[in-house]
Structure 1
Amino acid sequence: MSQIETEVSEPRRWVMFAILLVGAFLPPLDFFIVNVALPSIQGDLGTGSSAEQLVISSYATLYAVTLITGGRLGDLYGRGRMFFLGLLGFAAASLMCGLAASPWVLILGRALQGVTAAVMAPQALASVQAIFPASERPLALSLYGAVFGLASVIGQALGGVLIAVDVLGMGWRAIFLVNLPIALLVIAFGIPLLKETRARHASKLDLVGTALSMLSLTALVVPLIEGREAGWPLWAWLSLAAAAVLAAVFWRYESRLHRAGGTPILAPAALKAPGLGRALLVALCFYAIGVFFLLFSMYMQGALRMTALQAGLIFLPFGAGFLLGPLSVPQLRRVLGGYVNPVGMALEVAGFLWLGWLVSVTPPALAPPLTSLVVILFLIGFGQGLALPTLMRMVTGRVAPAYSGMIAGITSATLQISTSLSVALIGGVFYTLLGDQTTPTSITHAFTISVLCIAACLAVGAAVSLTLARESTLASEVSAARTS
């Protein structure tokens, strides 16, 4: 039975949320798990550098451009229905990747993974507003942040473990086929338990707006992902210019549709919520850390000559911090109030500055002291674990529950674009400094400067977040004074 959004709490909300969290776990897991498997894929399928890039970018691009549509589909046609359709499609795409006999079949499978992941992923975040009372939303968002963040860390470690163990002789194929038992179990046990939710007064999908939004995001994301690798050719700059034009056309169309009484995929009224623009700017700065996983792996394997397994396992302290951070949010909110997000991002800044200094004073080709490295990675993970769920609340809490799917898709797309920007810009800094050299000294120098760039981006986000926290605190004080 379908449930239209109301203010009544759903009795089975925690079971439902646990099922939907699989949709938050699998997409980042499959984005990061491929990083350590690329050498094995190249050796087996004979992929060149351009095909390797497409294995990553085909997934990232289609995931980013479909997220807003995926979120809105959940609002209109049911979040549970879209979750299970996305999960089923994701499992089928994973099977295609795991059985791929050529690079192009693998790339097609990765593209289908990206589309189906974008239909599945926003439903967990959207359900927070739809099924939880206000008092339980911080805890739900904390759990969402823990699962979302841990998936990126587990992806790095699990990829190395699966390749090292070589399960049933499958090699790199196991990193995709491992999704199948997870998906089948969730579908078997989840369908009877998941009660449907959707927006009040749901109507048909805005097809023109959907097409314009996907074209705008494609024109933006593709050059960000592919431009640096291709040497920033003319088509990349033309595509970025076209993205601005398409975005303007898209916004005018959505505004006109809204005035005419239609249901736009991106509701202008919801996007005019006070402070939402700055909250999305924080989200855009937040995933500057996205490139860190790739660059740190290159530093460890290129400069320090670590194996894929060692490079994956070194992220475990980060994962431990990321697990404890979100779980600590409810307690820290009692002490810090609305300042948890800027404090978390400030801890990340401190961790990256410390890491940059430590790497710079350590002789090239020698690993930094393991104890210091563990503490730094834990600090960065803990800071991000504090910041992510509070960032989600900062964004999603500013719009009505009827737009939960839409804002969940926008938030996820913004984080994905943030990752693409960090890879394009900060990755560009790394490769420019590296040049044609691959010595431990050159890799260490390029990595150090890149880490400082990440710290600078996070510092900007923390400063913007601080202004929002101050305004929220002031508003709460004024409200309390009026009621006393």
Structure 2
Amino acid sequence: MTTSVPADPETAAAAARAAGRRRRIALAVVLTAAFMDLVDATIVNIAIPSIQRDTGATFSAVQWVTAGYALAFALGLITGGRLGDIHGRKKLFLLGMGGFTLASALCGFATGPGMLVGARVLQGAMAALMVPQVLAIIHVTFPAHERGKVFGMFGAVIGLGAVCGPLIGALLTEGNLFGLEWRPIFLINLPVGIAGILLGRRFLTESRAPRALRVDLIGTALATAGLLMLLYPLTQGRESGWPLWGFVSMAASPLVLAVFVRYERAKARKDGSPLVELPLFKIRTFAAGAGVQLAFGVVSGLFFLIWTLHMQLGLGWGPLHAGLTGVPFSLACSTAAGVSVQRLVPRFGRKVLQAGALIMLSGALVYLWAAGRYGTALESWQLAPAMLLMGAGMGLIVAPITDTVISEVPAEHSGSASGIFNTTGQLGMALGLGLSSVAFFGVVGDTGQPGGAGAAAGAADALRASFVDATTHALWWICGGLVLVFGLLFLLPRRSRAQEVAERSEPAAPEGGAGPEQRQQALVS
């Protein structure tokens, strides 16, 4: 017979401290990865004029620098999550971070627009391997009673990334470190990525899903083909003179996507592992929410591109001037996001999101008025009211929309629903960037190209005026998109099911009862 010897209290305390230290370092690694992805998705916009001048990139190449990342990221998100479930989240996280770091180096050392676009597509694909593992690693690393605080930190990092991305890009571009101009916005990822890989190998814990879905490579290929058949001619068509093949390709795109839908249904019957769980779209709230997310992604993708081009190429501001002008937008967005989730949505429900759409619309109209009133003489302080309104409106939408929509989905499907929902937003951004060919660059015309006839003739004022005209034209498209978002929000329930349940149970709920932590756990379970 053996007797158990009580553990030495000092040894147990030391082990607990070591475990806590290991978890904190692991958290720092995955949060840094999430921060890198968000910053890299936003940091490029502010450097686009510098990239265009240095590489001689055409406008379509400029669009692909941003749209290529968004499209690759969107198409790989669900597959990346499943690969982590099958082969191990730590392994896929480190693979994604290594690939992301390598792609950042290729972006930084790109010798021309083609190489830069290819490296950005690779960067987006590697982010799709890395990012889905972040919440899953947090979920398995931290005990339930600590996750609420950890998820709060995750939200704070996301907000910080949204605020810091454009400003970091402006500082690095304006600083022209070592004469590298825009390249440090990518090269800064190298030391961060290498440190993350070394620390991740040591401190991250491996985990897999007990019952992982299979990877749907054929579904991914069909979705990719269908979307590229739409986006490629939409982006390249203007510079190619809108050839017939472009219209044929765009017309055939819905047919390929219809084949994708039929294949996904057959895949679901065969092994239950389709890329997209189509029955989710039978849930009215989820289908409407996905429509909102897609339309809002289009608006966001178009706005952020034309905004920075207007400030730098239309108004002649430097990157730092443009970045600082965007600070009111970022601060208003992060502030409104925090208030909407914690106070407003639990009380007013859907009306908060609709108010956000109307506030953004009013901001776009103020921007339109200011751009038309002052033209190329517009000053930062004259643009500030529009920035505050658009930032506040965006914060009221982006923060609560996911929780509002996913809370209506059965818990066993929340992971798939969250992946599809995030993918929809990224696809919307890629589509918005593609639409800029018509909404923005079509108005600028050939005069904006490096070395074009307008620039050769020294018509700098006319060139700047054309960018202002293009901005006002694109802002009308943005206003139309926001009206569409406002209308789609009526399809959401007035109050989510989770809010109604919480209200009914509130009198009997114990103090400090279930709240955001439990809802967040449902998203990553």
TM-score normalised by the shorter chain: which range applies?
Answer: 0.7 to 0.9
SS of residue in 2 equivalent to 1:252: helix
- Paired residue for 1:3? none
> What pairs with 1:57-456 in structure 2 (closer than 5 Å)?
57-124=67-134, 147-148=157-158, 151=161, 154-196=164-206, 198-287=208-297, 288-328=299-339, 329-360=341-372, 362-368=373-379, 370-399=380-409, 403=413, 406-425=416-435, 427-435=437-445, 438-456=462-480
User: Which segment is superposed worse, 371-380 or 15-24?
Assistant: 15-24
SS of residue in 2 equivalent to 1:469: coil
> Match of 1:324, as an amino acid?
T
**Are 1:469 and 2:465 an aligned pair?**
no
> CA 1:69 to 1:474, structure 2 compared with 1: closer, same or farther past 3 Å?
closer
> Match of 1:384, as an amino acid?
M
Query: Deviation at 1:180?
Result: 1.4
> Match of 2:337, as an amino acid?
P
> Match of 1:307, as an amino acid?
G
Return the index of the structure with the highest Cα Rg.
2
Query: Deviation at 1:278?
Result: 0.6
- Paired residue for 2:14? none
The CA distance in 2 between the partners of 1:137 and 1:225, in whole Å, is 43
User: Which segment is superposed worse, 20-29 or 373-382?
Assistant: 20-29
> CA 1:182 to 1:356, structure 2 compared with 1: closer, same or farther past 3 Å?
same
Work out whether residues 146 and 327 of structure 1, in 8 Å CA contact, stay in contact via their aligned partners in 2.
no
Query: Deviation at 1:174?
Result: 0.9
> Match of 1:182, as an amino acid?
V
SS of residue in 2 equivalent to 1:468: coil
The CA distance in 2 between the partners of 1:35 and 1:89, in whole Å, is 22
> Match of 1:322, as an amino acid?
C
> CA 1:270 to 1:365, structure 2 compared with 1: closer, same or farther past 3 Å?
closer
Work out whether residues 199 and 402 of structure 1, in 8 Å CA contact, stay in contact via their aligned partners in 2.
no
Work out whether residues 59 and 441 of structure 2, in 8 Å CA contact, stay in contact via their aligned partners in 1.
no
> Match of 2:345, as an amino acid?
R
SS of residue in 2 equivalent to 1:275: helix
Aligned residues between the structures = 472
- Paired residue for 1:7? none
User: Which segment is superposed worse, 144-153 or 330-339?
Assistant: 144-153
Work out whether residues 72 and 406 of structure 1, in 8 Å CA contact, stay in contact via their aligned partners in 2.
no
Unpaired runs of 5+ residues, structure 2, are 1-19, 448-461, 509-525
The CA distance in 2 between the partners of 1:283 and 1:36, in whole Å, is 24
Query: Deviation at 1:320?
Result: 1.2
User: Which segment is superposed worse, 386-395 or 430-439?
Assistant: 430-439
* Cα-to-partner distance string for 1:49-82 (whole Å, 9 max, x where unaligned): 5654544444344333323322333344444433
Unpaired runs of 5+ residues, structure 1, are 1-9
The CA distance in 2 between the partners of 1:11 and 1:468, in whole Å, is 43
The CA distance in 1 between the partners of 2:441 and 2:60, in whole Å, is 16
The CA distance in 2 between the partners of 1:452 and 1:409, in whole Å, is 31
Work out whether residues 139 and 330 of structure 1, in 8 Å CA contact, stay in contact via their aligned partners in 2.
no
Query: Deviation at 1:270?
Result: 3.9
Query: Deviation at 1:279?
Result: 0.6
The CA distance in 1 between the partners of 2:353 and 2:153, in whole Å, is 15
> CA 1:403 to 1:188, structure 2 compared with 1: closer, same or farther past 3 Å?
farther
SS of residue in 2 equivalent to 1:284: helix
The CA distance in 1 between the partners of 2:243 and 2:145, in whole Å, is 51
- If the length of structure 2 is used for normalisation, what is the TM-score? 0.77
Identity %: 36
> CA 1:40 to 1:455, structure 2 compared with 1: closer, same or farther past 3 Å?
closer
The CA distance in 1 between the partners of 2:477 and 2:280, in whole Å, is 33
> CA 1:82 to 1:49, structure 2 compared with 1: closer, same or farther past 3 Å?
same
* Cα-to-partner distance string for 1:394-418 (whole Å, 9 max, x where unaligned): 3443445665554344223321222
The CA distance in 2 between the partners of 1:336 and 1:14, in whole Å, is 36
> Match of 2:217, as an amino acid?
L
Q: Which has the bigger relative contact order, CA under 8 A and spacing at least 6?
A: 1
Query: Deviation at 1:162?
Result: 0.9
- If the length of structure 1 is used for normalisation, what is the TM-score? 0.83
